[in-house]
Copies of this chain bind each other. A is one copy, B any other.
Amino acid sequence: MTQSTQIRLVRRPVGEPTDADLEVATEELPALEEGQVSLRTVFLSLDPYMRGRMSDAESYAAPVELGAVMVGATVSEVVESRSDRRRPGDLVLAYTGWQTHAVVDARATRRLDPATAPVSTALGVLGMPGFTAYAGLLEIGRPQPGETVVVAAATGPVGSAVGQIAKVKGARAVGIAGGPEKTRALIEDFGFDAALDHRSPTFVDDLAAATPDGIDVYFENVGGPVAKAVTRRLNTYARMPVCGLVANYNAPSAPEGPDRLPGFMSLVLTRSLTVRGFIQDEFVPTHHDAFVEEMGEWVRTGAVRYREDVVQGLENAPEAFRGLLAGRNFGKLLVQVGELPA
């Protein structure tokens, strides 16, 4: 019998998730029923939304139950199949979470073609993060030629795609990241027009210098002090797709004052801003086909590039996840749980 090594949530974290909030355990896989496949995890995707699933605070999705395996998207190899849909050796996109093996319904997997693109991209630029960037920027942000688009966490899978899609659409892309290595990558690897280090003591002035015509689209995925500085430079009729607020995710309660909400709402009013929260699922029916076609093409032609940060071994997932929330990853964060088939 195959055993799955799992990382389970055993306590709801207060602030940063600690090792005591998570437990490593093993579980024997059940025998396959008709229609099921058994999977071996190759890559596990780590994404900021997972912090929300660790909490029982209200969110758009139910929290992970205590004692259950942490959720997450994976690229896995089919080991055994009792379904016509999948054959052993197939590589699939699945949602089997932080574990080495799993048994799932074959219909809960999507087959990946390694000839089209590296399979890991199904977790990044051609997967949920890339689609988040694509749908949020094009449907809510609607960048026009010559407009200025700003995005933070800009070397991450969402931010880097936002900036590059903005460029494809003729807009000016300004990226914000932490540290000189990342800002250099924004210019040299991802082709941003300007790159800012949010850790710099002159960040607010740097932002002003990099956005002389103000900001038309702020793709919000971080919150915190970066958002504060950016919102002040938003132009009339600026759009602000809100897909994440990483800076807040570990915050246990409302921070100290002053209360900035009235000032923010005044800005919304006086500058006729559009602030729109979204979860990418909303746009799947209307935009996913176009995404597969357009983004696939942009990746093939090099108009959109991507970067991966691969951590070896499931046991290192918790520390890698803490690094993600603190911005220590550099590119799409993946955990290599098992080897790719030869």
Chain A interfacial positions (CB closer than 8 Å to B): 52, 58-60, 220, 223, 227, 236-237, 242-245, 248, 251, 253-279, 282
How far is A46 from B245 in the complex, measured between Cα atoms in Å?
Answer: 41
How far is A306 from B262 in the complex, measured between Cα atoms in Å?
Answer: 30
- Does B248 lie within 8 Å of A265, measured CB to CB? yes
How far is A264 from B60 in the complex, measured between Cα atoms in Å?
Answer: 14
Indicate which residue in B242, B255, B256, B260 contacts A269 across the interface (CB closer than 8 Å).
B242
* Chain B neighbourhood of A272, CB < 8 A: 60, 276-279, 282
Kindly provide the distance from the CB of A172 to the nearest chain B CB, expressed in whole angstroms.
Answer: 24
Copies in the complex: 2
* Chain B neighbourhood of A243, CB < 8 A: 269
Indicate which residue in B59, B258, B271 contacts A256 across the interface (CB closer than 8 Å).
B258
Sample (16) of A-B pairs whose CB atoms are under 8 Å apart: A60-B270, A227-B265, A242-B265, A242-B268, A245-B265, A245-B266, A245-B269, A254-B260, A255-B259, A255-B262, A259-B261, A268-B276, A272-B282, A273-B277, A274-B277, A275-B275
- Indicate whether A270 sits within 8 Å of B58 (C-beta atoms), given known contacts A254-B259, A258-B257: yes
How far is A265 from B258 in the complex, measured between Cα atoms in Å?
Answer: 16
How far is A272 from B270 in the complex, measured between Cα atoms in Å?
Answer: 22
- Indicate whether A258 sits within 8 Å of B255 (C-beta atoms), given known contacts A265-B223, A269-B244, A272-B282: yes
* Chain B neighbourhood of A269, CB < 8 A: 60, 242-245, 277
* Chain B neighbourhood of A258, CB < 8 A: 253-257, 259
Kindly provide the distance from the CB of A216 to the nearest chain B CB, expressed in whole angstroms.
Answer: 15
How far is A77 from B262 in the complex, measured between Cα atoms in Å?
Answer: 41
How far is A254 from B256 in the complex, measured between Cα atoms in Å?
Answer: 12
Known contacts A248-B262, A253-B258, A267-B277, then 15 further A-B pairs from the complex at CB < 8 Å, ordered by chain A residue: A220-B265, A223-B265, A242-B268, A245-B262, A245-B269, A254-B258, A255-B259, A255-B262, A257-B257, A257-B259, A260-B261, A268-B276, A272-B279, A274-B276, A274-B277
Residue among A262, A263, A264 with the highest chain B CB neighbour number at 10 A: A262
Kindly provide the distance from the CB of A208 to the nearest chain B CB, expressed in whole angstroms.
Answer: 15
Indicate which residue in B256, B263, B270 contacts A277 across the interface (CB closer than 8 Å).
B270
How far is A274 from B274 in the complex, measured between Cα atoms in Å?
Answer: 7
* Chain B neighbourhood of A255, CB < 8 A: 257-259, 262
Kindly provide the distance from the CB of A293 to the nearest chain B CB, expressed in whole angstroms.
Answer: 25
* Chain B neighbourhood of A271, CB < 8 A: 60, 277
- CB nearest neighbor in B for A228: B261
* Chain B neighbourhood of A274, CB < 8 A: 274-277
* Chain B neighbourhood of A282, CB < 8 A: 237, 272
